[in-house]
Structure 1
Amino acid sequence: MSDIKKVVLAYSGGLDTSVIAKWLKEEYQCEVVTFTADLGQGEEVEPARAKAEALGIKEIYIDDLREEFARDFIFPMLRANTIYEGEYLLGTSIARPLIAKRLIEIANETGAQAIAHGATGKGNDQVRFELGAYALKPDVRVIAPWREWDLNSREKLMAYCQSHDIPVENKAGKKSPYSMDANLLHISYEGDLLEDPWTEPEEDMWLWSVSPENAPDEPTYITISFKQGDPVAIDGVEKSPATIMEELNKIAGANGIGRADIVENRYVGMKARGCYETPAGTVLLRAHRAIESITLDREAGHLKDELMPRYAKLIYNGYWWSPERKMLQAAIDDTQTMVNGDVRLKLYKGNVIVVGRQSDDTLFCEMTATFEDDDGAYDHGEAEGFIKLKALRLRTAAKKGRSLL
C-alpha cells in the first residue's frame, strides 16, 4: 500500500486510536485525517480535536450524528422488531454502518485512498466496518492495525506512547476494566470478569440503569405515540428521534429496565459473553409490538416475525448496505403505513408492561371480539364448517389408519 497518501481514521481520542494515528504516519508515511462521531455515547467528543491536534493532525472531522443515527438506523431497525438470537437489540451492530458511511464520505471529500479503524481481529466490528466501506466504495483501501502490528497489549501501547511522545490521560479514580461501547441505543461491556460466563456481573459495572431491586417502589406510566411505525411523541409531546432515545434511556434506566447478560455467536466463529444496557430500545420494542397488535394484519405480522431473524442476522453480521437488507427493509416499511397510535406503558422494577393501546387505524373490533351479546356481528355457527374443513386432512389420514395414537 505504498501508494496511500492519505487515510481517514475512525478516531475516538482514546489510547488505541491515538497510537494508531501515530503508527499510520510512521508505517505508511501518509497524511492522517481523523473522524470522531457523536452517536449519543454520553461523553463530550470535542476533546478529541485537541488530542488530534497534539498528534499533528491537520484535517479533523467531529460530527454530531445523533439525529441521523436514530432516524435512519435505529428506527428502521425497530420497525422490524429486531432482536438477535432472542436477546440482543444490536446496539453496537447498528452504529457501524453509519460510521462506515461517514468514513467513505470523508474519504471522498478529502481525496483519501484508504480508511482505518481500531477494531481487533477477533471481533465483529472489523467485518461491519469493512463490508460497509467496500459496499459504498469498492476500491477503497482498508488498514486494520490490529491485524498488522505487534502492539497486542496495553503495556506495549503505553510503551509506544512514551517512546513517541503521545500524551495519555491518567484519570483519577478507578478505571473500568471492561471494554465498553456506548451510543443512543445502548452501552455494552466485555472482558475482564465477564470472560467467565458463570460469573455474575458486578453491580457497579452498570452505568445506565439501577438494579430492579433498587428501582422505585411506585411504577412510572408513560404513553408513546407512533406514526408509520416510528415513535414521535412521549406523553403527547412531540420530540425528535434522538431526543426520544435520550429521554427514554433516562426514564427506563431509572426503573431498572434494559439489562441483558448474553453469550452470543460472533460472525467470526467464536462465542462471546457480553452485557448490555438498552433501556430505550427495550421500551420501544415492547411498545412497537403493542401498537402493531391492533393495527397490523395477522398474516403480515406473522410474515414480519418470520423475516425478522434473517434481518437481524444481516445487521449483526455487517450487511446493512446489502441488497437483501434493502429488499427486506422495503417490505417491512410497507407494513408500517397504518402503524399509528398510542401505547400506554407501566415501567416497574425492570418490567415493561403494556396497559393500553389505541389507534384510529385499529383493526380490533370490540363487537366481534366480545364475550357479551354481539348483536349478530359474528355467526357462531359458521365456525363448524371452518373447523371441519381444517380437520379434513386429519380425518382422512385417521380413516386410513394413520392415527398418531
Structure 2
Amino acid sequence: MSEIKRVVLAYSGGLDTSVILKWLQETYRCEVVTFTADLGQGEELEPARKKAEMLGINPKHIFIEDLRETFVKDYVFPMFRANAVYEGLYLLGTSIARPLIAKRQIEIAREVGADAVCHGATGKGNDQVRFELGYYALNPDIKVIAPWREWDLTSRTKLIEFAEKHQIPIAKDKRGEAPFSVDANLLHISAEGKVLEDPWEAPEEYVFSRSVSPEDAPDEPTIITVDFERGDPVAVDGEALSPAALLTRLNKLAGDNGIGRLDLVEGRFVGMKSRGVYETPGGTILLQAHRAIESITLDRGAMHLKDELMPRYAELIYNGFWFSPERRMLQALIDESQAKVNGTVRLKLYKGNVIVQGRKSPDSLYSMEHVTFEDDQVYDQRDAEGFIKLNALRLRLLNRQQG
C-alpha cells in the first residue's frame, strides 16, 4: 500500500462505507475524513455523523452538506436544457449526481490537506469511472483508493462478518441478503441487482417508493402549468420556486399520478449490460414540458442540431465526462440556444402519462397567419412549386442517369 496520510471518503453511513472507513484505518493507517452529501435522497443524515464519530473520526473532519439547490441548479437543469436521454429512455439520475460529489471531495481534500480520496463503488459498475474521472479532472495528482478493487471482502456475508468483528452497527435488514441495491437523489431513485437481475421477471410493487402504480393513480387528471425562463423551469402553477423546491413539487405531483417509472436494460460504460428499475417522476414532467416550450421558441435548425448532439451529450454524462472540454463545449452551445426559451406549458397528468395541453411564449415563433388553412395575406402558395423543383432536381437527374 502506498503511503497515505489523510483520505476523504464519500460516506453514506451505510454498511459498505462504514466497513470501508474501518478498513481504511486498518489497511492504510491513515486519518479518515468523511463527506456526506444531501442530494435529496430523502434520508436523515445525522446518523451518519454519529456513526463516524463512533468509529473514531474527528468531529472537525466530518462534513455533512446540503447540496440540493446546487445539485438541481448547476447539474440537473443544465442537463435538462439539452433534453438529455441515454439510450432513448434513461434520464441519467445517478450519472448526474457523481460529478458534484467528486467535486466536493476534491475541494474538501484541498481544505483539510488530504492526499487521497476514496469511494465505495464496485469494480463492475459505472460509478467508479464517474467518480475517478471527476477526481482526476479536478486534481490530476490525487491518489484514489477504490476498496472494492483492492480488498478480499467479496461478498455481503464477509462485509457483515467484518462489521461484527469491529463492532460496527448493522441495520437489521442488512443481516440477510438485501433484495436489491438502491441509489437515490432529488432527481431519481434506482434499484438494481438481486431480485431484479433477471430482465424477464417484472419488478414487484415494493420496489417502487416514489410513485403509485398507474392503475392506482387518481381517476381524475391533474392539470398543472410550468413556467420557463431561458430554458429553466422557474414556477409551477404560477408559484415561483427555487430549483430544488420546484423539482420537489414536480416529484410529488408526478408520483401521485403514477408518472416516471422505467424498467431498463442499459449498456454500461465498462461493457456489460445491466437491468435497472428507475423512478424519475419530476424529471419526466420536466422533459416533456421543456420540449413543449422549445417547440414554439426554437428555430427548426437549432432544434434539430440540438437533437443530433443530444445522444453524444447524454453519453458523456453517463460515462463520467462532465468535466471534459467536449461536454463544456456542448453545454455552451446548448445554453446559447436557450436564450429565448421562455413561456408557459400546460400539462395533464393522468395515470402514468404526461400530456401536453397547451404552450405559450412571448418569444413564440409560431405564426397563426402563416399556418392557417383559411385565407391569408402573408404566404404565396405558388412559391412552393419552385422550392419543390429545386429540391427535386438531384433526384430527377439521378433517375435519368440510372435510366
Tell me the TM-score normalized by structure 2.
0.98
What residue in structure 1 maps to residue 314 of structure 2? Answer: 312
CA–CA distance in 1 between the matches of 2:180 and 2:200? 17
What residue in structure 2 maps to residue 395 of structure 1? Answer: 396
Say which of 370, 373, 386 aligns to 2:375.
373
* Identical residues among aligned pairs (%): 69
Say which of 281, 289, 303 aligns to 1:279.
281
Q: 1:172 to 1:270 in 2, by over 3 A?
A: closer
CA–CA distance in 1 between the matches of 2:191 and 2:371? 46
CA–CA distance in 2 between the matches of 1:386 and 1:362? 25
What residue in structure 1 maps to residue 383 of structure 2? Answer: 382
What residue in structure 1 maps to residue 350 of structure 2? Answer: 348
Instruction: For 1:199, give the aligned amino acid.
Output: E
Deviations 1:69-91 (A, max 9, x none): 00000000000000000010000
Alignment of 1:217 onto 2:228: no
CA–CA distance in 2 between the matches of 1:341 and 1:385? 36
Tell me the TM-score normalized by structure 1.
0.97
Instruction: For 1:191, give the aligned amino acid.
Output: G
CA–CA distance in 2 between the matches of 1:45 and 1:39? 11
For residue 42 of structure 1, report the CA deviation from its aligned partner: 0.8
What residue in structure 2 maps to residue 331 of structure 1? Answer: 333
What residue in structure 1 maps to residue 189 of structure 2? Answer: 187
What residue in structure 2 maps to residue 121 of structure 1? Answer: 123
- Which stretch shows the higher mean deviation, 156-165 or 27-36? 156-165
What residue in structure 1 maps to residue 32 of structure 2? Answer: 32
Instruction: For 2:44, give the aligned amino acid.
Output: E
- Which stretch shows the higher mean deviation, 175-184 or 338-347? 175-184
Q: 1:120 to 1:173 in 2, by over 3 A?
A: closer
Alignment of 1:201 onto 2:203: yes
For residue 4 of structure 1, report the CA deviation from its aligned partner: 1.1
For residue 169 of structure 1, report the CA deviation from its aligned partner: 2.6
Contact 2:156 2:177 survives alignment (8 Å): no
Contact 2:289 2:356 survives alignment (8 Å): yes
CA–CA distance in 1 between the matches of 2:330 and 2:402? 44
CA–CA distance in 2 between the matches of 1:188 and 1:139? 32
Q: How does 1:228-307 map to 2 (within 5 A)?
A: 228-307=230-309
What residue in structure 2 maps to residue 45 of structure 1? Answer: 45
Contact 2:160 2:175 survives alignment (8 Å): no
For residue 57 of structure 1, report the CA deviation from its aligned partner: 0.6
Which consecutive segments of 4 or more residues in structure 1 shift more than 6 A?
172-175
- Which stretch shows the higher mean deviation, 293-302 or 390-399? 390-399
For residue 175 of structure 1, report the CA deviation from its aligned partner: 8.5
Alignment of 1:67 onto 2:59: no
Count of residue correspondences: 401
SS of the residue corresponding to residue 266 of structure 2 reads strand
Q: 1:125 to 1:215 in 2, by over 3 A?
A: same
CA–CA distance in 1 between the matches of 2:175 and 2:16? 20
SS of the residue corresponding to residue 344 of structure 1 reads strand
| CA-atom RMSD in angstroms | 1.3
For residue 401 of structure 1, report the CA deviation from its aligned partner: 2.8
What residue in structure 1 maps to residue 150 of structure 2? Answer: 148
CA–CA distance in 2 between the matches of 1:373 and 1:140? 69
Q: 1:152 to 1:287 in 2, by over 3 A?
A: same
CA–CA distance in 2 between the matches of 1:140 and 1:270? 28
Contact 2:96 2:317 survives alignment (8 Å): yes
SS of the residue corresponding to residue 53 of structure 1 reads helix
CA–CA distance in 1 between the matches of 2:309 and 2:20? 40
Deviations 1:113-138 (A, max 9, x none): 00001000000000000000000000
Deviations 1:82-104 (A, max 9, x none): 00000100000000000000000
Instruction: For 1:55, give the aligned amino acid.
Output: L
CA–CA distance in 1 between the matches of 2:169 and 2:219? 47
Contact 2:34 2:52 survives alignment (8 Å): yes
CA–CA distance in 2 between the matches of 1:37 and 1:62? 6
What residue in structure 1 maps to residue 165 of structure 2? Answer: 163
Contiguous gaps of at least 5 residues in structure 1: none
Alignment of 1:97 onto 2:99: yes
For residue 162 of structure 1, report the CA deviation from its aligned partner: 1.3
Q: 1:206 to 1:4 in 2, by over 3 A?
A: same
For residue 345 of structure 1, report the CA deviation from its aligned partner: 0.3
